[in-house]
Amino acid sequence: AGTVAVRETRSVCPYCGTGCGVLIQHDGQRMLGVRGDPDHPANFGRLCTKGRTLHQTVHGADRAVQPLWRDRDSGSPLPWSEALHRAAEGFAGIIRAHGPQAVAFYVSGQLTTEDYYVANKLAKGFIGTNHIDTNSRLCMASAVAGYKSSLGMDSVPCAYEDIDLADCIFLIGSNTAYAHPIVFRRIEDAKAGNPNLRIIVADPRRTPTTSIADLYLPLKPGTDVALLHGILHILIWEGWIDRAFIDTHTEGWEALKALVQDYNPQTVAETCAIAVADLRRAAEIFGTARAALSLWCQGLNQSAHGTDKNTALINLHLATGQIGKPGAGPFSLTGQPNAMGGREVGGMPALLPGHRDVLNPAHREEIARFWGVEGICPEPGLTAVPLFQAMERGEIKAVWIVCTNPVLSMPDQAQVIRALARAELVILQDAYLETETGAYADLLLPAASWGEREALVTNSERRISHLGQAIPAPGAALPDWEIFRDFAYALGAALDESGQPAPAIMDGSWTARAQRLFAFSTAESVFNEYRETTRGRDLDITGLSFARLDRDGPQQWPFPEGAEKGRARLYGDGIFPTPSGRARFRAPAYAPVAEDIDARYPLRLITGRLRDQWHSMSRTGKVTALFQHSEEPLLEIHPRDAQRLGLKDGQLCRVSSRRGKVVVRAQVLATAPPGVLFLPMHFGTRFAPAGECNRLTLPAIDPVSGEPEFKHTAVRVEPL
């Protein structure tokens, strides 16, 4: 046998928002291995357990390789032309009968920047509906809302190098050791290299992340706003604030100062169930730090008060001037590989490309002119939870789901299933066939996956990487943006056939319009168009190109034309992108969780991630080694709660909420907080017949961000 020539192609890990560089080893047809990219600034060659096994997740019998028309349990293969014709006829018929607001898209933070851009142009520019949301709604929406509310733009002001430069790191609502392992390694290194670094961790659960804490605050679930206001109260009392920064660069201080007067240490300590001395110590560490950096994730975001939690944390940075300088700032850790890129191109129902807003008439006008369309619908579309509720009511009649598994990942699973059952047309575009959502799809479309197409993504620190194509996609699978482009052509023809009246500014027909709007031949041609929408905006990347990224490596935005490099951190000049140029203190009052415990449901349930699994396990579920850490969904429970219930370690139990029940095995853990349970989010019926945690969770959402409250559900437990 001849020797196989192994080549390496640069890419980025498709799991978490750390965005680690990966070199894919392959023979041009199959992936043979991976190694960390030593030159990528996110990881310098390191990979976590998930990243190291990526090549084992790509090839498999469950890959979607051709379009399938689903008829209950069987599927008939179709050529692309016929599949897109059926999809287009379905959409055109519904648009003709009920208008463009009767169709919707539900996409994913796994999509590339090009995919997101074309999907948005299709929905908002061609069809005329803003009903396009993403599973980032379940992840980063509260951070987006918090940044926009406090700082004026959805722009993460920090960089990973700030971890090395801080002397206070405040981790709140983040099990970084599991969710962003390579970021955690960097925190460990910073700790080892700097004896002056103090780390505060606030989390109801004692996790592997809390082991690094100099100060651990085991706060009661949902009390983050009270905690943060309590810290600010002490900062003011002790004079650990930066009065010059407040006076020069912020607004709204007096209202916030008046509000936090009521958050005295004793009251806050009782509300949060922590010691007064620990609260004071947290304020002292933060308030006396030379450079204070906050890192957070879903513990703040996945909440019916997620926006308030984000703004309350940003308040601490504004009050102390801990922003815009090395080692300092509020740094949200993005959940998915391209949640940030999706936000940049307007991948949410209230956004437009280049950090523009649907509600802003000037922004709508700019994008309508850029696209050459008569206008953009002035109403923001529905966010994920209301979108599926509208589907259940029959208002959304067709939905196109892309690279996500809402039957497993959305709250209140029974409602999502009812909604999909009611929809007239469900299209599912994915790289994998056998997801829980697939059972409700009429049409399955095969998408190319990681390493099978060229793309750009943006990680948590605003760094854009160019991902190469290592191997061809299997069968008839195509990059998502190409599917949207080809669908636009098919929809144009179907709309013309249906007699749908043409908008005012037209190209003669819907068909001609589709050809003009979607004249994309490569991922690069999509990027080049999107790039122009950023000109003059805060995320200006007019100085970037595929060639530049290949030559100089991944770059942070902004990177305007003529720049030599991107900017590591934002707001160093103290000027914020608000009308006044000042950052805004927000003053939300602490409010309790949406569904408190009571006599029938006396325990609090938190859901979240495991170290070695990712989302609904389409990839990680293929790798035997990744089950060694945890084989099944275990219910973490404190020994006292278990004893009271007569529940033994390893025993099966039923967990019930007002919406449903699951059957899982108990894991009695001394480190679990009394009265608080934990279930992992990953396991669907393929891996655990009755362990889907979202049978239990509630559809309460944050009124601003629309993000659901995954971090608190009232439940009861019965031994079986």
**Residue 583: CB minimum distance to ligand SF4, A:** 30
Q: DSSP string spanning 384-424? A: HHHHHHHHHTTS--EEEEES--HHHHSSSHHHHHHHHHH-S
For residue 123 the two structure tokens come to 């929905």
Look at residue 718 and give its three-state secondary structure: strand
**Residue 158: CB minimum distance to ligand SF4, A:** 17
Q: Which residue is nearest to ligand SF4 (CB)?
A: 51
Rounded to whole angstroms, the Cα distance separating 312 from 585 reads 8
Residue number, 620 or 657, with CB nearest to ligand SF4: 620
Is 15 a binding residue for ligand SF4 by CB under 6 A? The answer is yes
Site string for ligand SF4, 697-716 (x = CB under 6 A): --------------------
Which residues, at least 6 apart from 625, have a Cβ–Cβ distance to it below 8 Å? 49, 53
Member of 9, 10, 11, 13 binding ligand SF4 (CB under 6 A): 13
Residue number, 153 or 403, with CB nearest to ligand SF4: 403
**Residue 185: CB minimum distance to ligand SF4, A:** 8
**DSSP label of 197:** -
Cα(first)–Cα(last) distance of the chain, in Å?
57
**Residue 658: CB minimum distance to ligand SF4, A:** 34
Residue number, 310 or 465, with CB nearest to ligand SF4: 465
Nearest to 408 by CA among 438, 379, 433, 381: 438
Member of 10, 11, 16, 119 binding ligand SF4 (CB under 6 A): 16
Rounded to whole angstroms, the Cα distance separating 382 from 11 reads 33
**Residue 524: CB minimum distance to ligand SF4, A:** 24
Residue number, 299 or 492, with CB nearest to ligand SF4: 299
**Residue 289: CB minimum distance to ligand SF4, A:** 26
Residue number, 619 or 716, with CB nearest to ligand SF4: 619
Is 611 a binding residue for ligand SF4 by CB under 6 A? The answer is no
Nearest to 170 by CA among 209, 198, 206: 198
**Residue 358: CB minimum distance to ligand SF4, A:** 31
CA distances from 94 to 376, 495, 692 (A): 20, 10, 33
**Residue 15: CB minimum distance to ligand SF4, A:** 3
**Residue 480: CB minimum distance to ligand SF4, A:** 20
Is 345 a binding residue for ligand SF4 by CB under 6 A? The answer is no
- The backbone torsions φ and ψ at residue 170, rounded to the nearest 5 degrees and listed phi first, read -110, 105
Q: Name the one residue in this structure whose structure tokens are 């997101």.
A: 116
Which residues, at least 6 apart from 359, have a Cβ–Cβ distance to it below 8 Å? 350, 378, 380
The residues in 402-461 that bind ligand SF4, with binding defined as CB under 6 A, are none
**Residue 394: CB minimum distance to ligand SF4, A:** 40
Question: Where does this chain touch ligand SF4 (CB under 6 A) — which range of 8-16, 63-71, 206-214, 417-425?
Answer: 8-16
Residue number, 360 or 628, with CB nearest to ligand SF4: 628
Number of C-beta neighbours around residue 421 at 10 A? 11
**Residue 43: CB minimum distance to ligand SF4, A:** 6
Residue number, 50 or 711, with CB nearest to ligand SF4: 50
**Residue 141: CB minimum distance to ligand SF4, A:** 20
Question: Where does this chain touch ligand SF4 (CB under 6 A) — which range of 16-24, 506-514, 517-525, 560-568?
Answer: 16-24
Q: Which residues on neighbouring strands pair with residue 462, listed in sequence order?
A: none
Rounded to whole angstroms, the Cα distance separating 720 from 702 reads 35
Residue number, 15 or 245, with CB nearest to ligand SF4: 15
Residue number, 377 or 626, with CB nearest to ligand SF4: 626
Residue number, 22 or 637, with CB nearest to ligand SF4: 22
Question: Where does this chain touch ligand SF4 (CB under 6 A) — which range of 12-20, 191-199, 264-272, 415-423?
Answer: 12-20
- Upper half-sphere CA count for residue 104 (Cβ side, 13 Å): 31
Rounded to whole angstroms, the Cα distance separating 197 from 187 reads 10
- Give me the torsion for CA of 503, 504, 506, 509, rounded to 10°: 50
Residue number, 48 or 123, with CB nearest to ligand SF4: 48
**Residue 278: CB minimum distance to ligand SF4, A:** 30
Q: DSSP string spanning 417-475? A: HHHHHH-SEEEEEESBS--GGGGG-SEEEEB--TTSS-EEEE-TTSEEEEEPP-SPPST
CA distances from 600 to 593, 700, 711, 718 (A): 17, 19, 19, 12
Specify whether the backbone of 346 is left (phi greater than 0), alpha (psi in -120 to 50) or beta. Answer: left
The residues in 18-57 that bind ligand SF4, with binding defined as CB under 6 A, are 18-20, 43, 47-48, 50-51
Site string for ligand SF4, 127-166 (x = CB under 6 A): ----------------------------------------
Residue number, 485 or 619, with CB nearest to ligand SF4: 619
- Size of site (CB under 6 A) for ligand SF4: 14
Rounded to whole angstroms, the Cα distance separating 127 from 140 reads 26
Rounded to whole angstroms, the Cα distance separating 565 from 466 reads 16
Nearest to 103 by CA among 390, 476, 471, 301: 390
Residue number, 53 or 155, with CB nearest to ligand SF4: 53
The residues in 496-525 that bind ligand SF4, with binding defined as CB under 6 A, are none
Site string for ligand SF4, 164-183 (x = CB under 6 A): ----------------xxx-
DSSP strand pairing (425-430 vs 398-402) = parallel
Nearest to 33 by CA among 54, 5, 13: 54
Residue number, 569 or 609, with CB nearest to ligand SF4: 609
Which residues of the shown chain bind ligand SF4 in the complex (CB under 6 A)? 13, 15-16, 18-20, 43, 47-48, 50-51, 180-182
